[in-house]
Structure 1
Amino acid sequence: MSTAKNSRNSAFRKPTVLAVLIGLVISVLSTHAYANGEEKPMEVKVVVISMFEIGDDEGDAPGEFQLWKARQKLTTKYPLPHGFHDVYANTETGVIGIVTGMGTARASAAIMALGLDPRFDLSKAYWLVAGIAGVDPADNTIGSAIWTDYVVDGDLAHHIDAREIPSQWPTGYFPLFTHEPYENAESVDVNNSPNGEVYTLNLPLAKWAYSLTKDTKLLNNEAMDTLRAKYTLSPNAKALPNVSMGAHLSASTFWHGEKLNTWANDWVAYWTQDKGNFVTSGMEDSATLQSLTYLDNAGLVDKERLMILRTASNFTMQPPSLGAAQNLKLESSGEGYAAMGAAIEAAYNVGSGVVNAIVENWDSAKHTIPGSD
């Protein structure tokens, strides 16, 4: 009973042993050179974080990374054999792109690998997570782009099977160090979560990003209209794609259905003390934040420069006409992912507005985080 309703399908081809060895040698040699001051590290202005690519990085159906690589001209390759995917950069603009791989384990490892890499000066870099997600039909619709204000971890918890819980409990999923659902809510500190259950992003920066991009035109199509029309009890689900803000639930189990959607809303409300409203669900963001927190402690990055943009590829629960299992089966067969292409485009079209603004105003953005005044 965990979270993450992302419609993602990674299909990287496995590299040969020779390719891995060559990449490792190149990485080790280049890392040695940078560490010994033989070459100056690249000053990074923006790190674009994608989580998956469907096939190749170019020339086929795009996943989360391909549009960024092509349109931001990320043509310089930095081998990263100790990560999921090589880093690609535009050395003129200072923008780099990374693919973490799906799930919290891969994301945490990939961000840490990049953060410790001496080939890059990340001390002033902005970080943009740009990926697809599921969306709560009570709050928004497929094809929309949602800037994140709070990230709540959906994995760190106690779990008792629903068939064994006390009859008065609404769920068998409850916080660590408690004895029943939503106990000790008054003691939750949304700004200080030692175990990483909740992260508050830089809200002025998130609001700046939203304000800058809120009028971005987003894609829509007939298949999306057909899907959203099924959600007869959810006015926001039947709206056209738009840009908004909301909280994100992060965990590595792809969940689906009305009852778990209710749990997601309650879980986010608990961990944010009702300051955050659950809107999107994905996998990796709590891991990304944890790694950036450690890297920030070491003075290698500024975690206050992180922005998360999640775009809705599917709904987190079924419409009134279907059961949860039926709807999930339809999604897996393709019908439910009518917004996949639109969501991938939205991640670039909205996210690139922020990336371009930072690059074009680097003299100011390097020293002063937008929205801080």
Structure 2
Amino acid sequence: MVNRISVKSTVWAWALTACMAACSTTAIAQDDDRIAHGDGESGAQPVKVMIISMFGPEGQVWLDRLGPWRTIPVAGLSPDYPAVQCNRQDVCVMTTGMGHANAAASTMALTFSSRFDLRHTYFMVAGIAGIDPQQGTVGSAAWADYLVDFGIQWEIDAREIPADWSTGYLGINTKSPTDQPPLDYRTEVFQLNPRLVDAAFALSHQVTLSDDAQAQAARAKFSYAPANRPPSVIRCDTLAGDTWWSGTALGERARQWTKIMTNGKGTYCTTQQEDNATYEALKRAAVDHRVDLQRVAVLRAGSDFDRPYAGQTSADNLLNYASQGGFTIALDNLFLAGNPLVQDIVSHWSEWKDGVPRH
């Protein structure tokens, strides 16, 4: 039960307007017509890197910096984001729409479209998220090894939790909150290619990230690190689910659930809506040999804390998330942390084409 992707309607409306304006005014010259019609097998557009964003501002940070772009409409994408943008370096940006349903539907539409050749494509999911203050801070950018679905659980009314249980959540078809459930849904947990995560982290971990005074004031209210330190590039895992939550007890369950679902190997740090749904869509395309699952990376930047600081209520943390100052810097830091990987792939394509290079 997780989310930090949604923003207030005024911000969302601005994002959509900005994205549509950029898409209509930055078309590449006609002599680069291969972007529209492709020069790969069967006339499909080859893609070196596909950046997957979830809503307008996440995509806009790439559109503002890596153009010019050509717009390629794709049947089945979100009506709010009906096209993919591609540049001359075969880097493309798509926006799925927010939440599990939009992410799965849009990603399936992309991967089964005849417009693209995605067999050698590196996919980078890049979005904002809530963040665990014991692992990062607002503005921190986290590369994930594991994608865990926080929404696929049983839940007991919080007012009726058994006295000997620490939480009202438990895995489906289990007997207690600490049991690992059978993976009946096949989407509960995914592990990403560690070599790709190694490479992404190595390329970006020394990058200087954006910060601002509002975020500094928000993190100063925490008495411990790394919550009260400047943002940095980190490596820890992400939980997906469509319910936006806030709270210390729920945060503890997020940590516990990650350990349960990864056999103790994962470390929870970011909370969002879409990533398991996006990955499942890619997995189905991989069965048809349309994509390579070893080429999927997930980067999430903290836009707000998932729980309150000492003396703050969970309700205040939730209702006033925008006052934490993380939204703008998290967007900037998606680009700052993610672009080194994008540029290394396109600049050294001969090394990356057949898989993640060994170093």
Instruction: Please give the range of the TM-score, normalised by the shorter of the 2 chains.
Output: 0.7 to 0.9
2:200 is matched with 209
TM-aligned CA deviation for residue 330 of structure 1:
1.8
Q: Please tell me the residue identity of whatever aligns with 1:270.
A: I
- The structure-2 alpha-carbon separation of the partners of 1:293 and 1:211, relative to structure 1 and needing over 3 Å to count, comes to same
Q: Following the alignment from structure 1 to structure 2, what is the Cα–Cα distance between the partners of residues 5 and 161? A: 23
Q: 1:247 aligns with which of 237, 241, 258?
A: 237
Q: 1:77 aligns with which of 68, 71, 79?
A: 71
5+ long unaligned stretches in structure 1: 14-32, 54-62
TM-score normalised per structure 2: 0.88
After TM superposition, the structure 1 = structure 2 runs for residues 209-248 of structure 1, keeping only pairs within 5 Å, are 209-232=200-223, 234-248=224-238
Q: 1:49 aligns with which of 42, 49, 52?
A: 52
Q: Please tell me the residue identity of whatever aligns with 1:4.
A: N
Q: Following the alignment from structure 1 to structure 2, what is the Cα–Cα distance between the partners of residues 122 and 48? A: 12
List 4+ stretches of structure 1 deviating above 6 A.
Answer: none
2:278 is matched with 288
Tell whether 2:345 aligns with 1:354.
no
TM-score normalised per structure 1: 0.85
TM-aligned CA deviation for residue 46 of structure 1:
0.6
TM-aligned CA deviation for residue 164 of structure 1:
2.1
1:329 is matched with 319
- The structure-2 alpha-carbon separation of the partners of 1:327 and 1:194, relative to structure 1 and needing over 3 Å to count, comes to closer
- The structure-2 alpha-carbon separation of the partners of 1:354 and 1:193, relative to structure 1 and needing over 3 Å to count, comes to farther
1:20 is matched with none
1:342 is matched with 329
TM-aligned CA deviation for residue 180 of structure 1:
2.0
After TM superposition, the structure 1 = structure 2 runs for residues 1-373 of structure 1, keeping only pairs within 5 Å, are 2-6=1-5, 8-9=7-8, 10-11=12-13, 12=16, 40-53=43-56, 63-73=57-67, 75-84=69-78, 85-183=81-179, 185=180, 195-232=186-223, 234-331=224-321, 334-336=322-324, 338-370=325-357, 372=358
2:29 is matched with none
TM-aligned CA deviation for residue 8 of structure 1:
3.1
Q: Please give the per-residue CA displacement for 1:104-150, whole angstroms capped at 9, x wherever unaligned.
A: 10000000000000010000000001111111001111111111111
Q: Please tell me the residue identity of whatever aligns with 2:278.
A: T
Question: Does structure 2 conserve the Cα–Cα contact (< 8 Å) formed by 1:4 and 1:250?
Answer: yes
TM-aligned CA deviation for residue 226 of structure 1:
0.7
Q: Please give the per-residue CA displacement for 1:316-347, whole angstroms capped at 9, x wherever unaligned.
A: 0001121101221222xx312x0211110000
Q: Please tell me the residue identity of whatever aligns with 1:41.
A: A
Question: Does structure 2 conserve the Cα–Cα contact (< 8 Å) formed by 1:7 and 1:314?
Answer: no
- The structure-2 alpha-carbon separation of the partners of 1:239 and 1:193, relative to structure 1 and needing over 3 Å to count, comes to farther
Q: Please give the per-residue CA displacement for 1:292-338, whole angstroms capped at 9, x wherever unaligned.
A: 1111111000011000011111110001121101221222xx312x0
Question: Does structure 2 conserve the Cα–Cα contact (< 8 Å) formed by 1:7 and 1:132?
Answer: no
Q: Following the alignment from structure 1 to structure 2, what is the Cα–Cα distance between the partners of residues 71 and 8? A: 23
Aligned-residue Cα RMSD (Å) equals: 1.9
- Secondary structure, counterpart of 1:96 in structure 2: strand
- Secondary structure, counterpart of 1:134 in structure 2: strand
- Secondary structure, counterpart of 1:128 in structure 2: strand
- Secondary structure, counterpart of 1:224 in structure 2: helix
TM-aligned CA deviation for residue 91 of structure 1:
4.5
- Secondary structure, counterpart of 1:129 in structure 2: strand
- Secondary structure, counterpart of 1:71 in structure 2: coil
Q: Following the alignment from structure 1 to structure 2, what is the Cα–Cα distance between the partners of residues 95 and 86? A: 17
5+ long unaligned stretches in structure 2: 18-36
Q: Please tell me the residue identity of whatever aligns with 1:143.
A: G
- Secondary structure, counterpart of 1:294 in structure 2: helix
Q: Please tell me the residue identity of whatever aligns with 2:258.
A: V
